[in-house]
Amino acid sequence: GAISDEQMMTYRRMGSPFQGHPTPALPWVDVATGSLGQGLPIAVGVAIAGKYLDKLPYRVWVLCGDSEFAEGSIAESMDKANYYKLGNLVAILDMNRLGQRGQTEYGWDGDEYAARARAFGWHPIEVDGHDFDDIERGYQLAIQHQDHYEQPVLIVARTVKGKGISWMENQNGWHGKPVPKDKLDATIAELGGATNLTFEIPEAPAATAYVAAAADHPAPTTYELGSAVATRKAYGDGLKAVGALRPDVVVLDAEVSNSTMAEIFKEAYPDRFFEMFIAEQQMVAAAVGIGVRGYVPFASTFGAFMSRAYDFIRMAAISQANIKLCGSHAGVSIGEDGPSQMALEDIAMMRAVHGSVVLYPSDANQTVALVHEMADHDGIAYMRTTRAATPVIYEAGDVFKIGGSKVARQSDSDEVTIVAAGITLHEALKAADQLAEQGIHIRVIDLYSVKPVDYETVREALVATHGRLVVVEDHWPQGGLASAILECLATRPGSTNGFGDNFRMTHLAPSEMPGSGTPDELMDWAGISARHIIEAVRTMLD
């Protein structure tokens, strides 16, 4: 078989690919499972790809536990499967009554599960999960139904946990527990003894090779220096530009595409845009599923609402998924909408995802360039965009790489290093201009790549400015730009050579819960305006 006896004996041991739950450490596993309520939502993405992108006749089968049907993400997935008429999706519900600590929400009430399936627009089929003939009947009925209707199917399979073991059957308390050694021989005998099962696996039908449509080659998207453009607008333009060059780029949004500006891509390539409505978990899950089929999905919503999907993002890292995320409306600078709409935790949240890239562009030309970088990057990448229009400060041809930064202002007599990104970079540049008029020169670094950090540029600036550092960010103090810099310095041997004894840092960031106000009022209230940067520099030099 695919797994030898020797390999199986390494199960759950250090270094074994056979971990507590399946992961892509096994070559036939595309996505990690174990966090319940994720398999079906991801399968929705795979089925969407099959029907609308691959346009191939494959069917997606999903095995679900009854306990996980209490998850809200299951409701999101069933709703979207109906909306997209996924007649290529079959979910099999193992209705065994018992969860980890006792009876599940609906136990053996198959009628309840069937009613819920119908309410979501699915076609339910009930079977005896221990009768092979009845199981086969259910599978054939599902296929026959979908031959005539574009409707997802739920097979409700009634089973008994511990079936065939007299002392364990339908008994609570055995979830995830092995058979005791003193009962092992008797238990194996009761199950019929050790047997070797072989199966004939039919050959897959020949598939027609997929040929991507020829890509357009439009003129590069550029913006004039000095013009005012929101980075969220540039994100939409960047998606359109990448989409023209790459037919594998797909975009999803959570019913805010007129704010994230993903609608620009939708207008250009409607066949590659999928509306997930206000279902952020399903949006990220669908992105993972679409990525399984080799596409490069971008998914966007307000940065504050990306937190709803955080477990899916966390699991996407275990799955080694290739997904791109964008959170708009970052920080207090969004203004009047108030704190419920303000992403103030998102940098910390996304930096903590294993292997992730976190980008925070400051102008439109930079944003477009970084959207291209995200598309080319293999893995999870997050872009944070700003609501307000900000000045274009970089030339269209400037190069921006993941892991880089830009020195936006410098001289041979710089006394303090300012690190900023996004909206606060423009405040730092205002402060630099005003201080220069007073004979004080500062070095301003645009840390557009928050993860990974451009260590060399930051360290070089700190050496030049004798260890004086001011970090200004529109994000809670925890986990943002300052944390990224300090963590980077702390993990590099000798990183403070040349300035360590003199190192001083001032951190400007919102520290109290904001309310509503104009962007300028809120940034000044939060202590991250040009006025506060100037005060911090003067205090440091006194």
Q: Is 431 exposed, middle or buried (0-12, 13-18, 19+ CB in 10 A)?
A: buried
Contact partners, residue 96, CB within 8 Å, separation at least 6: 66, 129, 158, 159, 160, 161
Rounded CA gap, 377 and 28, in Å?
Answer: 23
Listed residue (154, 146, 131) closest to 64, CA to CA? 154
Burial of 133 (0-12, 13-18, 19+ CB in 10 A): exposed
Question: 319 and 288 in contact (C-beta within 8 Å)?
Answer: yes
- DSSP one-letter code for 81: H
Residues 6+ positions from 454 with CB-CB distance below 8 Å: 403, 404, 405, 447
* Amino acid, res. 142: A
The question of whether 521 is a catalytic residue gets the answer no
Report the C-alpha gap between 64 and 462 in whole angstroms: 54
- The single residue of 68, 275, 280, 473 carrying the catalytic annotation is 280
- Dist. CA 420–CA 379, nearest whole Å: 25
Q: 297 preceded by cis ω (within 30°)?
A: no
> How far is the CA of 314 from the CAs of 27, 42, 113, 310, in angstroms?
20, 14, 29, 6
User: How far is the CA of 22 from the CAs of 10, 33, 35, 235, 321, in angstroms?
Assistant: 14, 6, 11, 35, 14
Burial class (CB in 10 A: 0-12, 13-18, 19+), 433: exposed
DSSP letter at 213? Answer: P
Place of tokens 């609308």: 52
Give the catalytic positions in this structure. 280
